[in-house]
Structure 1
């Protein structure tokens, strides 16, 4: 590697240093992409201000205040894990979805028994598209969440179990205003309507347009915290929105919706 070394008067840069800088830059980029437009940015700024304050009181020999802040910083790693749990989860999901093993699922599925699960995750999209067309026409609000692997712990406590085949009429009946299950999300996984009337976490993004109601914020929120995608039908306009990884695409046509669902599932 000596042939790639650059020797200056005040610094020596090796090929390893270049790779190190590149990896750190990639890490910073991924972290930024996960926390931007979320409350995590304000939390980081708050922690940064505490560090500056700690440095100042330490230099001024304010021993009592410095000791109190130091005790707080001693548990900083545990506090970071607790505070940034959603962002850490999303970061690990992002890594997992982009690894070599994930992109070469043929033998990965045979090793860990996930091949059959992936086959079951091939969703019947046509009934969903037809149901969205009908609900758009009638201005029926709807939130449909698609997950590749159904998390019983995440959904069971806040949902009504359905576990039924995907059907246009069933989706329409769930979201009818007089239905006891219409207030919440439908979760689709393993080619089934797994549950309905699900209460989902809302997004912390404070830059969203004011016309976004709870339905849009819940769809974006679940896509931030998991690898789920959400289809939202606006009750006011009938407009279709598609949320993925905390980002939302508005005014999606039915052709685009079919392409997106086919791509993701």
Structure 2
């Protein structure tokens, strides 16, 4: 393809597309690992890489051999260390995020009001339940996933498979309920399961007032495509977790917008 020629380089359209695609890839990777422990892990691996070059150039045979052995299994180590981030990245690709955006545009052009009306009907029971639990300071963890992973959730949850309703959510999270200790998982417009034990986040930068409920909500949003609505038992404050990041003190208007966007 034709491009621009300079004294020292030649730039083609292919080169420009290549740079743009790499920039997009870096942007998505940055969004996946931002505010997570993966940043510290990457920094640690970068330091090891610099150390490897230094000891190799200084001919330090013993230390160079040890680091060489470590680098030889680098790909396997990366897959193990960054398994949650890789999982989220592949989920992003597998669910055709760009197609989802195109669907949103089609919805905007053809029947956006109908789509928003249907979404509001689905999320209204969740918002109403959160309002009630905020008043009574009832702790709650509501996890919403687009694709229900049977293997991930079935082993640690009680199956419910019921229609989403305000009263059912309130009943589940009542302190005397046998299902209140854990998370409710919503998918495919149904309450799929309750009393779910979820993985906790390893993020050590969270506010000290965050307990197990908040850490579980953030943790599941790190490893899956889920979003989590958390009602604090101590303050009644509502938090919203997505992709390992959390928004605190969310108003009901903000909650409606977030759920309408992500549901």
Q: In structure 1, what is the Cα distance between the partners aligned to 2:4 and 2:248?
A: 50
Structure 2 residue corresponding to 1:246, chosen from 236, 244, 247: 244
Tell me the TM-score normalised to structure 2 length. Answer: 0.86
Residues 35, 244 of structure 2: 8 Å contact kept: no
Q: 1:31-46 maps to which residues of 2 (within 5 A)? A: 31-46=29-44
Q: Unpaired runs of 5+ in structure 1?
A: 107-120
Q: Distance in 2 between matches of 1:100 and 1:176?
A: 40
Q: Against the structure 1 CA distance between its residues 75 and 182, is the aligned structure 2 distance closer, same or farther, given a 3 Å change threshold?
A: same
Q: 2:5 matched to which residue of 1?
A: 6
Q: Residue 123 of structure 1 contacts residue 190 of structure 1 at CA under 8 Å; is this kept in 2?
A: no
From 131, 136, 139, the equivalent of 1:138 is 136
- Tell me how far 1:99 sits from its aligned partner: 4.3
- Residue 22 of structure 1 corresponds to 20
- 1:12 Cα offset (Å): 3.0
Q: How many residues align?
A: 250
Cα distance between partner residues in 2 of 1:82 and 1:162: 33
Q: Does 1:230 align with 2:242?
A: no
Q: CA RMSD in A?
A: 2.4
Unaligned runs of 5+ in 2: 105-118
Q: Does 1:207 align with 2:211?
A: no
Provide the rounded CA distance (Å) in 2 between the counterparts of 1:99 and 1:194: 24
* Matching of residues 34-183 of structure 1 within 5 Å: 34-97=32-95, 99-103=97-101, 124-183=122-181
129-138 or 16-25, which deviates more = 16-25
Which sits farther off after the overlay, 199-208 or 79-88? 199-208
How far apart in 1 are the matches of 2:100 and 2:140? 32
User: Which whole-Å CA distance do the structure 1 matches of 2:11 and 2:256 have between them?
Assistant: 50
**Residues 137/221 of structure 1: CA separation in 2 closer, same or farther (3 Å cut):** same
Say whether the 8 Å CA contact 2:35–2:245 is kept in structure 1: no
Cα separation, 2, equivalents of 1:122 and 1:253: 16
